Amino acid sequence: MSELIPAAEPDFAAFIGIDWADREHAWALELSGGSRREKGTLEQRPEAIEEWAQQLAARFPGRPVAVALEQSRGALLYALCKYPHLVLYPVHPYTSHSYRKAIFPSGSKDDPRDAGALLDLLLWHRSQLRPLRQQEAAIRKVQILVEKRRDLVDLRTAQTNRIAAELKLCFPQVLDWFDQLNSPMVVDFLLRWPTLEQLRKEPRDMLRTFFVQHGSRSSARIDARLEQIDTAQPLLNDSAILDSCCVLIQSLLPVVAALNQAIRRLEDALEQTASAHPDFSIFRSFPGAGPALAPRLLAAFGSDRDRYRSAAELQAFSGTAPVIESSGSSRWIHFRRSCPKFLRQTFHEFAAQSIPHCQWAAEFYQRHKAKGKRHHAIIRSLAFKWIRILFRCWQSKSNYQDSLYHAAPALPTPLSSNAPSAGRNPVNNSLQKLADLLKTLPAIS
């Protein structure tokens, strides 16, 4: 699902606000040009939703109905998307909360009242809302797959963190011997030898065979591990702690193994779906956009070239562009917090991955690092530049070429939110104005 720039508004027959819930939704309806409101409830059952939608179609034949709901995805929204006579307007939860707080300062809240507030927003502030329209099926599938893959990766990280915490109590050497606790080698290693005592009973040849069978081809790395195993000492001898830690670790290891399998499954489906899309080669051509990030970039842009009016709109929507606030003579810049977090994360991670694979990106990072800028502020600024380039390639349907970037004029970057703001100090304001004035004067010969 994705929001698009609104076109000419259709002649709506009615307007509806729906306050969604888990089992039953409250709705409020007002006819176009009318003032009387109807209220009711809608059960979260496919049959009830079908009946309700068909009643609207029969009541307003051939005319669309505008529906506002505080949801950009979910069961209710997905169910309503299949009805062409319903034009959906997702309302940001913060928008509806702020409106409700302004109208009802007491903080009182109930579902019918919330449905009425959403209807108010739809009737009186519709110009600030955007109708929801679906991307093509392939793009939506890629979007869902990349998000679900990230959910599984985060879940696996949570389990490996728990395993690492237990290993620090009973078998801390494992954290030094292996780079990734979620690798199949580590899972099999700990399932077979959960304690140092059991490990040291195995002959060297058996251990060497284990490492080779699990993809360790470096003889030097294997020899170093075997030496460390021979000289390792147990952290403690308390059987109560050791036994309980081993039980928990060996209970979590199958979970990690199952998550590894599930992630590979999603990655296979993602590769098959994304690689078949005609725009995939555009994003795959960017430095650092590998099997995980290239599909995420494809999902971020989609295939509708009218989705964003400019790169600046995408920079703001994704949270890459900072927010500038001003009041009187003061002016300050800060990090943008209200944005789709996964989208911002996509551009942030791509910018970070581009540094080892792109010379100008590495130079950009080192130049700003030398100026004392913080790591994440530099990455956001780099992502700001990359979005301009990505947008241009996406619009022209052309692959990225590093030589064309170097031949193009320098792209602007946002002001760092970590820099001290001159706008907070009237003296600095005056000095800045003086500096700007001096720049406009002719040079003295």
Q: Are 279 and 399 in contact (CB under 8 A)?
A: no
Which amino acid would we find at residue 316?
A
The CA–CA distances, whole Å, from 52 to 20, 70, 122, 123, 284 equal: 15, 19, 20, 21, 44
Q: What's the pLDDT at 142? A: 96
Q: What's the pLDDT at 41? A: 94
Distance CA 262, CA 180 (A): 18
In terms of Cα–Cα distance, which of 106, 5, 1, 124 is closest to 68? 124
Distance CA 31, CA 39 (A): 12
* 265 lies in the same domain as 300: no
Cα end-to-end distance, the chain, whole Å = 62
Q: What's the pLDDT at 3? A: 44
In terms of Cα–Cα distance, which of 241, 243, 239 is closest to 251? 243
The CA–CA distances, whole Å, from 181 to 159, 163, 249 equal: 10, 8, 11
In a domain, 442, yes or no: no
In a domain, 440, yes or no: no
Find the largest Cα–Cα distance for the chain: 86
DSSP string, 196-232: HHHHTTS-HHHHHHHHHHTT---HHHHHHHHHHHHH-
- Dihedral in degrees, nearest 10, Cα atoms 393, 398, 399, 404: -70
Phi and psi torsions of 166, nearest 5°? -70, -35
Distance CA 114, CA 92 (A): 13
Distance CA 134, CA 142 (A): 13
Q: Residue 376 has which token pair?
A: 């994440």
- Which range marks the domain in which residue 299 is found? 284-424
Count of domains observed in the chain: 3
* 144 lies in the same domain as 227: yes
Residue 154 belongs to domain with CATH number: 1.10.287.4070
Residue 53 belongs to domain with CATH number: 3.30.420.10
In terms of Cα–Cα distance, which of 347, 342, 323 is closest to 415? 323
In terms of Cα–Cα distance, which of 96, 44, 48 is closest to 71? 96
Domain end position, chosen among 228, 243, 273:
273
Consecutive 10-residue averages of pLDDT for the chain (445 residues) = 55 94 92 91 94 96 94 87 94 86 79 90 90 88 95 96 95 92 94 92 92 90 92 90 94 96 96 95 95 95 89 91 83 81 95 95 95 93 95 94 72 49 44 46 40
Q: Are 174 and 190 in contact (CB under 8 A)?
A: yes
* 251 lies in the same domain as 144: yes
In a domain, 36, yes or no: yes
Q: What's the pLDDT at 424? A: 44
Distance CA 161, CA 155 (A): 10
| Burial of residue 123, with CB atoms counted within 10 A of its CB: 0-12 exposed, 13-18 middle, 19 or more buried | middle
Q: Are 297 and 346 in contact (CB under 8 A)?
A: yes
Distance CA 266, CA 245 (A): 31
Strands (E), 70-185: 86-90, 132-133
In terms of Cα–Cα distance, which of 343, 406, 415, 428 is closest to 378? 415
* 410 lies in the same domain as 297: yes
* 213 lies in the same domain as 247: yes
* 130 lies in the same domain as 157: no
Domain end position, chosen among 134, 166, 198:
134
Domain end position, chosen among 73, 104, 134:
134
The CA–CA distances, whole Å, from 391 to 302, 312, 372 equal: 11, 10, 29
| pTM across the whole model | 0.78
* 293 lies in the same domain as 212: no
Distance CA 318, CA 161 (A): 29
* 210 lies in the same domain as 172: yes
Three-state SS string over 284-338 comes to HCCCCCCCCHHHHHHHHHCCCCCCCCCHHHHHHHCCCCCEEEEECCEEEEECCCC
In terms of Cα–Cα distance, which of 317, 321, 348 is closest to 335? 321
